[in-house]
Structure 1
Amino acid sequence: MADLDALRTRFTHALEAARGPGGHGDRPDPARYADDLIARWREPQRRYHTLTHLTAVLDHIDVLREHADDPAAVRLAAWFHDAVYAPDRSENEERSARLAERALAEAGVPGERTAEVARLVRLTVTHDPADDDRDGQVLCDADLAILAAPPSVYAAYTAAVREEYHFVPSDAFRAGRAAILRRLLDLPRLFRTPYGQAEWEATARFNLRGELELLAS
């Protein structure tokens, strides 16, 4: 079970870092934004994209933070990525990015940084950051780090994904999931940060190949 107080504290720290110094008395309370996001991540249609996933992404960003140029923006992007989430819709990332633009502007985050958070959220559509996009690399690596999980955790992840897409017939799900796995395996690199490449790449590819074999059996 997620520690909600700890999550609220983590959001508050990220928001305050993104706001920058000055004007604290005129700024909205971070708790209202944290509570709205927590409520979104606890929606009943979610099985994988839950507070557990959000916490894991934040933890992985902490591991990778030295590779980011703007860790506060990356952390806020983690909070907003898939904050709007419906398994049967394809525009979740765009709607989540727009939510970030509205909420962060209202919360007192400068426009340039708000735009960076929204850009990072949109990047999770492809998980394909540019070679010089250090913030994008950290967010995408943190989001994909589940692929390098130990076998039991990876199995729980794949089961949760299937539960989220319970409305998709088995044959169609297997075909679609297999296509995603093949696309990932065809990438020259799953992870873009030096840490991700060194620590997660080989295990993730092993897990992906194993899942693909199970889908084909």
Structure 2
Amino acid sequence: MSTPESRHPAHEDLRERWTRTLLAVRRPDVSPGDVPSPYAYADDLLARWAEPHRRYHTTDHLVAVLDRVGLLSAHCTGPDAVAAATLAAWFHDAVYLPERSTNEERSARLAERALPEAGVPAALAAEVARLVRLTATHDPAPGDTAGEVLCDADLAVLAGTPQEYAAYAAAVREEYAFVPDDAFRAGRADVLRRLLDLPALFRTPYGRDHWEHRARRNLAAELELPAS
């Protein structure tokens, strides 16, 4: 559990952002005494994002994805889709162990347990879990506007400046420090090629216009790096 001294600078702001989002979608039949405080859920999620083994999938990543969901929210078909994408951003890497391949599934199950308990309608909780599972492939179906927004927000890191992209790639390598260099390079190359093989990395108009070219350039450049 993080201490006040170790908390992210945005910790209190994030608690308030979570609470506003949760209260806006809570079932009308739920009264405050019926469910735990929204802050209890915020603190649990923020403790997860601040786990010491994380290097890229950190609170900074959570903030970035939440901010990009906000940036792209006009693409969503209505407020329910915005709420689903926002809640999915909170949960999409809430469970993260680099040595596991089930992080998206376990994060989705966490959402399925926590959100109904917090008073969120069952249909919205199921939609959030679906979106979290979608981040395993980043390949939303056409017209899945909430999925397109969430996936674009998650992948936007690929479109940073060369320096920002290098810092991102280095942080990912740190998370997988237990993997030998040869095995990591092979696995990483598979991930990069899978992304480059997608017809489009970004599905929202903003993502296509602002991020697609730079992201493909960064991915291709990383693939061409010589083995060190």
Q: Per the shorter chain, which TM-score range?
A: over 0.9
Over 3 Å off, 4+ runs: 20-24
How high is the TM-score relative to the length of structure 1? 0.96
Say whether the 8 Å CA contact 1:18–1:73 is kept in structure 2. Answer: no
Q: Deviations over 1:122-154 (max 9, x none)?
A: 111111100010000000000000000112111
Q: In structure 1, how many angstroms separate the alpha carbons of the residues matched to 2:181 and 2:28?
A: 53
Letter paired with 1:5: E
SS of 2:225's partner is helix
**Which stretch shows the higher mean deviation, 16-25 or 56-65?**
16-25
Match of 1:14 among 1, 21, 28: 21
Match of 2:169 among 151, 158, 161: 158
Say whether the 8 Å CA contact 1:77–1:120 is kept in structure 2. Answer: yes
1:134 is the counterpart of 2:145: yes
How high is the TM-score relative to the length of structure 2? 0.91
1:42 is the counterpart of 2:36: no
Q: Deviations over 1:136-176 (max 9, x none)?
A: 00000000000001121111100000000001100111111
Say whether the 8 Å CA contact 1:81–1:121 is kept in structure 2. Answer: yes
CA RMSD for the aligned pairs?
Answer: 1.3
The percent of aligned pairs where both chains have the same amino acid is 66
| Counterpart residue number, 1:61 | 69
Say whether the 8 Å CA contact 2:27–2:119 is kept in structure 1. Answer: no
Q: In structure 2, how many angstroms separate the alpha carbons of the residues matched to 1:137 and 1:101?
A: 21
| Counterpart residue number, 1:125 | 136
Q: In structure 2, how many angstroms separate the alpha carbons of the residues matched to 1:20 and 1:147?
A: 37
Q: In structure 2, how many angstroms separate the alpha carbons of the residues matched to 1:67 and 1:117?
A: 17
Structure 2 runs not aligned, ≥5 long: 1-7
**Which stretch shows the higher mean deviation, 65-74 or 110-119?**
65-74
Structure 1 runs not aligned, ≥5 long: none
Letter paired with 1:171: D
1:84 is the counterpart of 2:95: yes
Match of 1:212 among 211, 223, 228: 223
SS of 2:132's partner is helix
Match of 1:97 among 85, 100, 108: 108
More helix by share: 1
Say whether the 8 Å CA contact 1:174–1:215 is kept in structure 2. Answer: no
What number of residue pairs does the alignment pair up? 217
Q: In structure 1, how many angstroms separate the alpha carbons of the residues matched to 2:116 and 2:226?
A: 44
Say whether the 8 Å CA contact 1:2–1:52 is kept in structure 2. Answer: no
Say whether the 8 Å CA contact 1:83–1:96 is kept in structure 2. Answer: yes
| Counterpart residue number, 2:208 | 197
Q: Residue 216 of structure 1: CA displacement?
A: 5.4
Letter paired with 1:157: Y
Task: Summarize the Cα distance change of 1:215–1:46 in structure 2 as closer, same or farther, 3 Å threshold.
Answer: farther
Q: Residue 186 of structure 1: CA displacement?
A: 1.5
